[in-house]
Structure 1
Amino acid sequence: MKDIFFCPEESNFYSNCLETFVLKNCSHSDSIVEFGSGDGSPMINSLLKTKFDAVIHGFELNTSAWKLANSKIDEYNLAHKYKIYNSCLFNSSKPQAEYLVANPPYLPASDPDIYMPLLFGGVDGATVTNNLLSLGYKNVLLLVSSFSNPISTIKRAEEKNYFVQKFMVLPLRFGYYSSEPKVKKHIESLRKKKMAFCSTNYYFLAGVLFKKCQESAINLSNELVKVMTSL
């Protein structure tokens, strides 16, 4: 379906981050809020591989993706664990949870008039990502793109008293959405301003677990910056 985000490599990476950084470390009382659940596949795949037994509240604006996600949830009998609402988290009364997780929209462009407008991440690509770090959740798992002003995301995290607890990085080839001429041209303009870091064909996507800061915590933000700006 052209109106539903489709990138198996990225979705599998997100699923791996969910499983490794969140679901395997949750207690039975820990709930999760997910921004932009899409068709639900990454979370469903992770749930099927773990013993997570609490509740995930997902939010998805794309009605087609929301309907598909709920059909998959019913297919795998996960309705007691995974509930997705056809609404925006930013416009909802904020659910209480130990974790906020998201593969947020991160495509940079001059405006949202792109192949899939819901993938627009703001002029620098980091707007939605950075806003999620302002919601105050104790633990936040985000996918962060190297061509979407990642340094601004690290700075926003520090401003909000988060440290980088864990991260993993995947090199990705520019795909259907990021190769749209309007998007690619804008990324090149950001690259010249040292706000995007990528080669002609590849960029890095990092799965980053941010945690509200503790004085004794080890902060991996410098290591993350080095990796994300190395292309």
Structure 2
Amino acid sequence: MLTSSHPLKQVFHCPEESDFYAHCLESLVLNGKNNYRLIVEFGSGEGSPVIKSLLRTDFDGKIQGFELNKVACKIAESQIKEYELSEKYTVNNCSFFDSPLYQSADCIISNPPYLPAVDDKIYQPLLHGGTDGCTIAKKLLSLDCDEVLLMVSSYSNPVGLIDYALDRGYSVANFEIAPLNFGYYSSEPKVKSAIATLREQGMAFYSENIYLLAGVVFKKQQKSQRDLSIELIQLMTAF
């Protein structure tokens, strides 16, 4: 039986999700096509997605991460040191929103908390994404950074989130999408109940064991820019 000291309750651990986040960072943000000097990350966890993507790219800017979980932050600091990435990646054990760094960032990146539940009394409170799962993602988009990469779940009101982004002047510039199995955190009864309620309201899309996770690049709309939001919505709601 899992206890409160089990690592799954101390630090977020889902290799499949972390690997996909790393892939999206590599292919959509750190691929050399963008000349970013400063990227800020909300919710760095134990740092492995950014570390993996940095080891596979030639990105020469700086990524400043923010993580409230002290245990996760310590692990991130140790891994950054081990892979000699301290010049490129720093994880700060403080609130993202209390730092002014995002105001001067070229891009915000995040696999934000997206577990829907009536409150944050779940296995990992820091994974709570509000009653519909996209509260934190919307808050990140409200900061009006020119470019934002977010991981978007098909069971966390994806249409509402995309509509919010469009209302804020963003377009969907690019995305990648992957099927994931419901895991330890999303299978918690309290979370599953909230997800089922959202589906009844037309705000969650999934099959019995599978949901979709998309890495989505939101960019401030330019007149000549193609908007992929309709294509993304069609894919996310295809269940």
Please give the TM-score of this superposition, normalised by the length of structure 2.
Answer: 0.94
Looking at structure 2, the residues matched to 94 and 118 of structure 1 have their Cα atoms a distance apart, in angstroms, of 21
Matches within 5 A, 1:87-166: 87-95=94-102, 96-166=104-174
CA distance in 1, matches of 2:98, 2:206: 33
User: In 2, Cα distance between the equivalents of 1:6 and 1:206?
Assistant: 18
Alignment coverage as a number of residue pairs: 230
The one-letter amino acid paired with 2:107 is: Y
What does residue 41 of structure 2 align with? 34
Distance 1:225 1:34 in 2: 25
Q: 2:193 matched to 1:185?
A: yes
C-alpha deviation, 1:90, in angstroms: 1.5
Helix, strand or coil: the match of 2:100? coil
The unaligned stretches of length 5 or more in structure 2 are 1-6
Instruction: Report Cα offsets for 1:6-39 as digits up to 9, x if no partner.
Output: 0000000000000001111332x52100110010
Q: TM-score, normalised to structure 1's length?
A: 0.97
Listed one character per residue, the Cα deviations across residues 32-91 of structure 1 (whole Å, up to 9, x for unaligned) are: 001100100000000001111111010001110000000000001111100111011122
| Aligned-pair CA distance for 1:156 | 1.1
1:170 matched to 2:181: no
Letter in 1 for 2:149: L
Aligned to 2:20, what secondary structure does the other structure show?
helix
How far has the Cα of 1:92 moved from its partner?
2.0
State the SS of the aligned residue for 1:151. Answer: helix
Identical pairs, percent: 53
* Paired position in structure 2 for 1:72: 79
Match of 1:57 in 2: 64
| SS, match of residue 123 in structure 2 | coil
Tell me, yes or no, if the aligned pair for 1:149 and 1:195 is still in contact at 8 Å.
Answer: yes
Contact 1:122–1:128 (CA under 8 A) maintained in structure 2: yes
* Aligned AA (1:183): V
RMSD over aligned CA atoms reads 0.9
